[in-house]
C-alpha cells in the first residue's frame, strides 16, 4: 500500500513511510553516520550557482553604467551602479517567503531546479544589456525568480544528521562566501575581453559590442551544468497521507499515526512571527547583512574608479563583502581609494576565497562544537571593527606592501563575517520544525534581501558623499564611510547578547512528553 509503514528493527524501532522521500533520506542518515561528500558537493554547487550572478557584476558595473551614458557626472556613476546592484536583492526580498512556502508544500528539489533555470536565463540576458533599464529589469527578474538560498539552507539542515548540521550550513555559508569571491573575480578577469585579450577577442566583434557578456555567459554555463546534476538530488521533505509533515522527531513516529496528527495540529497553529528565537536571529542577521552589503559596495566602487599605477605589483585578492570594498579599492587615490583595476579586484578576492574554504571545512566545525553556534560571534564581531577602520590607512601603502596588507585584512574580515553568519543560520534552522523550515528561511531571506537592497545604494551614496568631503576636519573622506559601517557592526554585536538573542526553542515533541 502507498502509505504502508515499514518497521526497521535495525533502526531501533523507528518507523518510516514507504515511498516517502523524506523517510528514505532519514533511513540513509540512520544507516550512515558519516558525512556524505556528494551531498556537500551538491549544496556547494547549488549555492555557488545562486551566488555567482549576485556578485559577479560589481567589478564591472561601474564601467557598464558609464557606457550606458545615464550618469550626468562622474560622481553620479556610483549611485546608478548602486541601483543596479540593489534591484537583485529587492526582487529576492519580494519573493523569498513565497518560494519558501512553495518548498514546504511541494518540496525543496523543484524550487531549487526552478531557481537554477532562472539563473541560466536572466543572468545571460543581463550580460546582453544595452541600456540602464534593461540591466535593472533583468537583475530584478533574476532576484525574484531565484528562490534558491532559503530552500538550500533548509535542505542542508535536513540532509545531514544533527551532529553534522553545522558542517552542512557551514558549506552553505562557505559556498556563499566563495561565490562572493569567485563571482567578482570572474567579472574582473573576463569583463571587457577585447581590451584584455585582443588576440582571442578581436575588435568590432560580438564581444566588443557586449563587453560584459563573457563572465555572465561562463556563469550561466556553470548553472546549466548544475541544473542537469539537480535532476538526481534526493528530496528531503516528508509526504504522508497526501500531505507533508515533519518527522524530525523519531519519538513522534514511534507512537503511531495519532501522535503524528496531534503534532500536526500544533504545527498548524504555530505563528513564525511569534517564534522569538527565530525572529531575533533573523533581525541580527539583517543588521550584519546591511553592514556586509554596504561594505562590499564601497570597496568595489573604490576599486573600479582607480586606474592602477603598479598593476603587476598588486596581488589579486577578494573579500566576501565585495560591494563596499570593491568600490573603495577601484576609486582614485585622490578620492581615498587604492586605484585598482578590475583584474586587481579579482586577484584580491581569489586568495581570500581559498582561505575561507580552508577555515570553513577544517576549523569552523570545531569552533561551533566548542563555543556553540553563537558563542564566538560577539568576539569575532568586535575583532572586525579595528580591521575595517584600518582600511583608509591601508590606502596610504603601495606596491607589494599594499598587496600583503590588503590581502591579510580581506582574509580576516571574511573569516570573521562567515563565523557570524553560519552561527545565525544554525539558530534559524534549529528554531523551527521541518514543515515550516522553508517558510522560516524565506522570511530570513526576505528580511536580509531588503537590508541588502538598501546596502548597495546606501554604500554608493555614502561613498559619493565622503569623496566630496576629503578635506573635512572630522573623519575626512573614506574615514567617515568605515566609521559609519563600524557603528552598524557595533549595533549587531550588542544584539547578539541576551536577552535580545534567544537560543533554539524547544521541540514540539518534547512539549508533548
> Per-residue pLDDT tens for 23-64?
888 888 888 777 778 888 888 899 998 889 887 887 788 788
Q: What is the mean pLDDT of residues 384-405?
A: 75
CA distances from 257 to 25, 168, 213, 239 (A): 20, 31, 55, 13
∠418-488-63 over CA atoms, to 5°? 75
What integer pLDDT is reported at residue 125 of this predicted model? 94
- Cis geometry, peptide bond prior to residue 276 (ω within 30 degrees of 0): no
Question: What percentage of the chain reaches a pLDDT higher than 70?
Answer: 73
* Torsion angle (degrees, nearest 10) of CA 92, 102, 180, 40: 180
Query: Is 194's pLDDT higher than 80?
Result: yes
Residue 250: beta bridge partners? none
Q: How far is CA 428 from CA 5, 163, 168, 387, 503, in A?
A: 31, 16, 14, 28, 9
Residues in CB range of 152: below 8 A, 6 or more apart: 43, 46, 47, 50, 108, 112, 172
Return the pLDDT at 35: 74
Q: Where are the domains of the chain?
A: 18-512
Q: At what angle do helices 149-158 and 399-430 cross, to 10 degrees?
A: 70
pLDDT surpasses 90 at 112? yes
Burial of 130 (0-12, 13-18, 19+ CB in 10 A): exposed
**Which pLDDT band, with edges at 50, 70 and 90, does 480 fall under?**
confident
Q: What tens digit of pLDDT does each residue of 304-356 get? A: 443 333 333 322 333 333 344 555 555 555 555 555 555 565 566 667 767 77
CATH topology of domain 18-512: Growth Hormone; Chain: A; (1.20.1250)
CA of 221: how far to CAs of 6, 41, 351, 465, in Å?
Answer: 43, 18, 24, 39
Percent of the chain scored above 90 by pLDDT?
11
d(CA 336, CA 391): 10
Lowest mean pLDDT, pick from 98-102, 438-442, 473-477 = 473-477
Per-residue pLDDT for 256 more than 90? no
What are 496-512's pLDDT values in tens digits? Answer: 888 888 765 544 433 43
CA distance 179 to 54: 8
What is the chain's length?
Answer: 513
Contact of 191 with 212, CB cutoff 8 Å = yes
Does residue 219 carry a pLDDT above 90? yes
Per the confidence metrics, is the pTM higher than 0.85?
A: no
Mean pLDDT of the chain: 74
Amino acid at each position: 500500500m502507498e502509505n504502508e509503514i515499514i518497521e526497521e528493527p535495525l533502526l531501533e524501532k523507528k518507523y518510516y513511510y514507504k515511498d516517502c522521500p523524506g523517510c528514505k533520506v532519514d533511513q540513509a542518515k540512520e544507516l550512515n553516520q558519516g558525512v556524505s561528500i556528494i551531498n556537500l558537493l551538491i549544496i556547494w554547487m547549488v549555492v555557488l550557482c545562486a551566488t555567482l550572478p549576485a556578485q559577479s557584476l560589481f567589478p564591472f558595473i561601474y564601467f557598464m553604467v558609464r557606457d550606458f551614458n545615464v550618469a550626468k557626472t562622474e560622481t553620479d556613476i556610483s549611485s546608478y551602479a548602486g541601483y543596479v546592484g540593489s534591484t537583485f536583492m529587492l526582487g529576492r526580498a519580494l519573493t523569498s517567503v513565497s518560494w519558501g512556502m512553495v518548498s514546504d508544500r511541494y518540496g525543496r528539489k523543484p524550487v531549487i531546479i526552478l531557481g537554477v533555470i532562472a539563473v541560466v536565463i536572466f543572468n545571460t540576458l543581463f550580460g546582453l544589456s544595452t541600456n540602464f533599464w534593461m540591466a535593472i529589469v533583468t537583475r530584478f527578474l533574476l532576484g525574484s525568480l531565484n528562490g534558491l538560498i532559503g530552500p538550500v539552507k533548509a535542505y542542508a539542515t535536513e540532509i545531514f544528521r544533527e551532529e553534522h548540521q553545522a558542517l552542512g550550513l557551514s558549506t552553505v555559508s562557505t559556498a556563499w562566501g566563495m561565490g562572493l569571491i569567485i563571482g567578482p573575480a570572474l567579472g574582473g578577469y573576463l569583463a571587457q575581453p577585447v581590451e584584455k585579450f585582443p588576440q582571442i577577442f578581436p575588435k568590432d566583434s560580438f564581444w566588443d559590442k557586449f563587453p560584459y557578456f563573457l563572465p555572465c555567459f561562463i556563469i550561466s554555463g556553470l548553472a546549466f551544468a548544475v541544473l542537469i546534476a539537480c535532476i538526481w538530488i534526493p528530496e528531503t521533505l516528508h509526504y504522508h497521507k497526501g500531505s507533508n509533515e515533519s518527522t524530525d522527531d523519531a519519538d513522534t513516529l514511534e507512537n503511531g499515526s495519532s501522535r503524528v496528527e496531534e503534532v500536526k495540529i500544533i504545527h498548524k497553529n504555530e505563528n513564525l512571527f511569534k517564534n522569538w528565537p527565530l525572529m531575533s536571529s533573523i533581525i541580527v542577521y539583517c543588521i550584519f547583512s546591511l553592514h556586509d552589503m554596504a561594505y562590499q559596495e564601497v570597496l568595489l566602487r573604490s576599486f573600479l574608479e582607480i586606474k592602477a599605477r603598479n598593476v603587476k605589483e598588486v596581488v589579486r585578492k577578494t573579500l566576501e563583502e565585495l560591494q563596499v570594498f570593491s568600490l573603495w579599492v577601484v576609486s582614485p587615490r585622490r578620492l581615498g581609494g587604492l586605484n585598482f583595476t578590475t583584474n586587481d579586484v579579482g586577484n584580491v578576492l581569489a586568495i581570500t576565497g581559498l582561505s575561507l574554504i580552508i577555515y570553513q571545512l577544517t576549523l569552523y566545525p570545531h569552533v561551533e562544537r566548542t563555543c556553540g553556534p553563537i558563542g564566538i560571534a560577539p568576539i569575532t564581531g568586535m575583532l572586525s571593527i579595528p580591521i575595517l577602520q584600518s582600511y583608509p590607512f591601508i590606502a596610504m601603502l603601495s606596491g607589494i606592501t599594499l598587496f600583503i596588507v590588503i590581502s591579510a585584512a580581506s582574509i580576516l574580515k571574511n573569516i570573521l563575517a562567515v563565523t557570524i553568519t553560519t552561527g545565525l543560520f544554525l539558530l534559524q534552522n534549529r528554531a523551527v520544525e521541518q514543515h515550516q523550515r522553508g517558510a522560516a528561511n524565506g522570511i530570513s531571506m526576505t528580511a536580509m534581501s531588503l537590508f541588502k537592497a538598501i546596502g548597495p545604494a546606501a554604500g554608493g551614496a555614502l561613498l559619493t558623499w565622503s569623496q566630496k568631503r576629503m578635506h573635512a576636519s572630522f573623519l575626512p573622506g573614506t574615514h567617515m564611510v568605515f566609521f559609519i559601517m563600524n557603528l552598524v557592526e557595533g549595533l549587531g554585536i550588542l544584539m547578539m547578547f541576551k536577552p535580545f538573542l534567544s537560543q533554539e526553542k524547544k521541540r514540539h515533541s518534547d512539549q508533548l512528553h
